[in-house]
């Protein structure tokens, strides 16, 4: 039996430039993101040969197919096709956060599943190999409209600047700051669930097809990766500037597509800004899910009070990425 634990991510700046449609045409993309201590857990083992079915797949549904091609869950089906395990598989999934909420849950699942399937075969892949394999599965086999940051973040873990394009294709550069400054940043971030589930790939498809029209916006969002990184690493800069930059980024992101925001999201964001937030954004492609806010600690009690009907999710950064936390080969 194998159990993997793979972190979800929050992205601060650069989202949209991690799509191949952008960086393969324009030569460069980048994001500033971090993984957090909320996880996707996958329990995986070879299925004993006593059943009519060959696969037992449990997530929000349960599937008992006899062949891989009959599996409806796209990531499970294509990961099995890609890795080709030696026999039937029993797989169960639980997650700390809900799917379709902007925290990279689909890619986190894919990375964790690949990690587990390789371990079943006695293979240990590098973080880079896991990231590239997950990108291949999602972009080329499933053919989802997804970028390349979520898989990379889930595999590597940590607070990173991730570059896309060039000969290396993907480069992960950890953001090196003191623990005190990291704690200050984390203490000023608040995560709330809007209660709105959405299909991020459909929203992304809407604005990815308009990449050329959004060229100026995406270039500005890419430049914010440099600016955000400089705020973090320069001890002389006030971290509140990071929050203000999040606000600027959110205002630009909304211009990429009309589907990125809606009246409920705008009301939540407006209330947050009126009660002490300096900036924020919807995570992921937009439309709903989690909203990240930068709120100085002295204003947080007021923000928690006005959003008492929303689910507040305290979190901390993590830097381990996808891990095998239990390994017992058959």
Give the other-Cβ count within 10 Å of 256's Cβ.
24
For residues 265-271, give the mean pLDDT: 95
Percent of the chain with pLDDT over 90: 84
Say if residue 168's pLDDT is above 90: no
Say if residue 203's pLDDT is above 80: no
Those residues whose C-beta lies under 8 Å from the C-beta of residue 48, and which sit 6 or more positions away, are: none
* Sign for the pseudo-dihedral over CA of 204, 207, 211, 217: negative
Q: Which residue has the higher pLDDT, 316 or 286?
A: 316
Give the other-Cβ count within 10 Å of 167's Cβ.
5
CB-facing half-sphere around the CA of 238: CA atoms within 13 A: 8
Q: Where are the domains of the chain?
A: 2-176+318-327, 179-315
Q: Are 150 and 106 in contact (CB under 8 A)?
A: yes
CA dist 148 and 165 (Å) reads 11
Say if residue 211's pLDDT is above 80: no
Outline where 234-323 has alpha helix (H): 240-253, 263-274, 300-306
Domain boundaries 2-176+318-327, corresponding CATH code: 3.30.230.10
Those residues whose C-beta lies under 8 Å from the C-beta of residue 101, and which sit 6 or more positions away, are: 193, 197, 283, 284, 288, 289, 290
Which of 71-75, 210-214, 236-240 has the least mean pLDDT? 210-214
| Beta-sheet strands, E only, within the chain | 2-13, 29-46, 55-58, 62-63, 89-95, 159-164, 170-174, 189-193, 279-282, 290-294, 311-312, 317-318, 323-327
Which two tokens mark 173? 């550069």
Find the distance separating the first CA and the last CA of the chain, reported in whole Å: 7
pTM of the entire predicted model: 0.95
**Closest C-alpha among 103, 307, 305 to residue 194:** 307
CA dist 17 and 208 (Å) reads 10
User: What digits encode the pLDDT tens for the residues 282-298?
Assistant: 998 777 899 999 999 99
Given pLDDT bands bounded at 50, 70 and 90, which one contains residue 209? low
Residue-level pLDDT at 329? 77
Question: Do 2-176+318-327 and 179-315 show the same overall fold?
Answer: no
**Closest C-alpha among 191, 195, 197 to residue 304:** 191
- ∠ Cα 20 251 166 (to 5°): 20
User: What digits encode the pLDDT tens for the residues 100-153?
Assistant: 888 999 999 999 999 999 999 999 999 999 999 999 999 999 999 899 999 999
Q: What DSSP string runs through 223-248?
A: HHHHHHHHHHH-TTS-THHHHHHHHH
Query: Which homologous superfamily does the CATH classification assign to the domain defined by 179-315?
Result: GHMP kinase, C-terminal domain (3.30.70.890)
Residue-level pLDDT at 198? 57
For residues 63-67, give the mean pLDDT: 96
Say if residue 204's pLDDT is above 70: no
């Amino acid at each position: 039996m194998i159990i993997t634990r793979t972190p979800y991510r929050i992205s601060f700046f650069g989202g949209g430039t991690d799509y191949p449609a952008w960086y393969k045409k324009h030569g460069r993309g980048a994001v500033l993101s971090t993984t957090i201590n909320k996880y996707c857990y996958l329990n995986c083992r070879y299925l004993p040969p006593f059943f009519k079915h060959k696969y037992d797949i449990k997530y929000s549904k349960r599937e008992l197919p006899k062949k891989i091609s009959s599996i409806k869950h796209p990531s499970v089906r294509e990961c099995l096709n890609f890795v080709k395990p030696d026999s039937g598989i029993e797989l169960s999934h639980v997650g700390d956060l809900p799917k379709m909420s902007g925290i990279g849950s689909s890619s986190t699942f894919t990375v964790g599943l690949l990690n587990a399937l390789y371990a079943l075969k006695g293979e240990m892949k590098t973080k880079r190999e896991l990231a590239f394999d997950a990108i291949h599965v999602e972009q080329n086999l499933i053919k989802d409209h997804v970028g390349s940051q979520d898989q990379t973040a889930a595999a590597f873990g940590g607070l990173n600047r991730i570059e896309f394009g060039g000969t290396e294709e993907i480069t992960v550069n950890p953001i090196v700051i003191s623990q005190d400054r990291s704690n200050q940043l984390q203490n000023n971030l608040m995560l709330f669930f809007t209660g709105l589930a959405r299909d991020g790939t459909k929203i992304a498809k809407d604005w990815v097809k308009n990449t050329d029209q959004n060229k100026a916006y995406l270039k500005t969002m890419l430049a914010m990766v440099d600016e955000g990184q400089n705020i973090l690493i320069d001890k002389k800069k006030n971290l509140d500037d990071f929050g203000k930059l999040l606000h600027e980024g959110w205002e630009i992101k909304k211009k990429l597509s009309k589907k990125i925001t809606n009246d409920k999201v705008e009301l939540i964001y407006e209330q947050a800004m009126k009660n002490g937030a300096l900036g924020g954004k919807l995570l992921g492609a937009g439309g709903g899910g989690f909203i990240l806010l930068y709120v100085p600690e002295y204003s947080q009690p007021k923000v928690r009070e006005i959003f008492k009907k929303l689910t507040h999710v305290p979190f901390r950064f993590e830097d381990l990425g996808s891990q095998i936390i239990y390994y017992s080969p058959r």
